[in-house]
Amino acid sequence: MVDSLPTKNGVDSSTFFQYAKRLRSLTLGTSNGHDDIPTLSLVRLADLQAPGNPFFPGLKSVAFTSSHVPQTTAIYGTLALASPITSLEFTALEVETATFATMLAFFSNRFSGSLTYLNLTFPVNNRDFTMESLRFLPRFQALRSLTLFSKNPRFPIFDKRLMDWILNLESLENLKIDVCVVPTDLDTTTHHGKQAISARLHTLRLGGPLNFIDFVLPMFAHRGVQITALTLAPIGGYDPGPIRAFVQSNFPNALNSLELLRN
């Protein structure tokens, strides 16, 4: 077990490990390009972690909050791969990079059966995020909470690998999908009749074009799914009457909260 490193410049490394043991959440923002620790040193530091003895034994949550995932930030992220991570967030991604895909690959390989919360937020409408990087998402099979937010009308929400993965998450309890995607004829044909399987799902939020919500909502409207809180946020103006009528007719009695918003 690594619990000390050589003392350098009068700094006792045991202090680092004392704080490391207390760490519960880690937020990684944009690097300013003047990191005190060289990249190679970070790689070597990560390699010092023995199996079962991580530097951060109590670390549960990692959040990437920058508009992209630069290499230095990604290397910091690798320090967490030996920790018992249950929550992963990318909250402001504007650029699809190889390092983002690498981080998803690393985390999905290491925490496929233990990650319970995932948040992917893509706030820019003119940047594509494709299945080239998102192909790693279906590895996460133990999610209880999932948030997908994108303003890009080409976000691949109806890619068979992505939508089938969402609908087949057995442990899912909370789901938020907010996208600007209009389903095509091919989308409606490919996904016609598909339904979510999680009997634990109780909170659902759908946001996007009205025809997106009209198409996706029935996937969760069956007796096997006991949704108790439903939030719908169509883009633009709409008549709430038909939506209320559909919800009242198709959702089981478990539903006790319906919120209609304007997106």
Per-residue pLDDT, averaged over 37-41, amounts to 58
Whether residues 79 and 97 share a domain: the answer is: no
Whether residues 103 and 172 share a domain: the answer is: yes
Is the confidence at residue 1, as pLDDT, over 60? no
Is the confidence at residue 57, as pLDDT, over 50? yes
8 within domain boundaries: no
pLDDT mean across residues, the chain: 88
Whether residues 103 and 78 share a domain: the answer is: no
Per-residue pLDDT, averaged over 135-164, amounts to 96
Supply the pLDDT for residue 39: 59
The C-alpha atoms of residue 204 and residue 231 are separated, in whole angstroms, by 6
Q: What is the pLDDT of residues 61-105, one digit of tens each?
A: 999 999 999 887 888 788 888 899 999 999 999 988 899 999 999
Supply the pLDDT for residue 227: 94
CATH of the domain at 256: 3.80.10
The C-alpha atoms of residue 225 and residue 222 are separated, in whole angstroms, by 6
Whether residues 76 and 180 share a domain: the answer is: no
Answer for the pair 195, 166: CB distance below 8 angstroms, yes or no.
no
Last residue of a domain, one of 85, 107, 126: 85
Q: What is the pLDDT of residues 168-178, one digit of tens each?
A: 999 999 999 99
Supply the pLDDT for residue 3: 53
Supply the pLDDT for residue 215: 97
Whether residues 72 and 100 share a domain: the answer is: no
Whether residues 119 and 154 share a domain: the answer is: yes
Whether residues 228 and 180 share a domain: the answer is: yes
Domain that holds residue 75: 19-85
Percent of the chain predicted with pLDDT > 90: 65
Q: What is the pLDDT of residues 185-239, one digit of tens each?
A: 999 999 999 999 999 999 999 999 999 999 999 999 987 888 999 999 999 999 9
Percent of the chain predicted with pLDDT > 70: 87
Whether residues 111 and 81 share a domain: the answer is: no
Supply the pLDDT for residue 33: 52
Whether residues 48 and 159 share a domain: the answer is: no
DSSP state for residue 8 in the 8-state scheme: B
11 within domain boundaries: no
Whether residues 111 and 221 share a domain: the answer is: yes
213 within domain boundaries: yes
Whether residues 136 and 247 share a domain: the answer is: yes
Supply the pLDDT for residue 6: 53
Domain count, the chain: 2
Query: Mean pLDDT highest for which of 2-11, 32-41, 67-76?
Result: 67-76
Strands (E), 41-166: 61-64, 87-90, 117-122, 145-150
Which is more confident, 1 or 126? 126
| Burial class of 239 by CB neighbour count within 10 A (0 to 12, 13 to 18, 19+) | exposed
Last residue of a domain, one of 85, 107, 139: 85
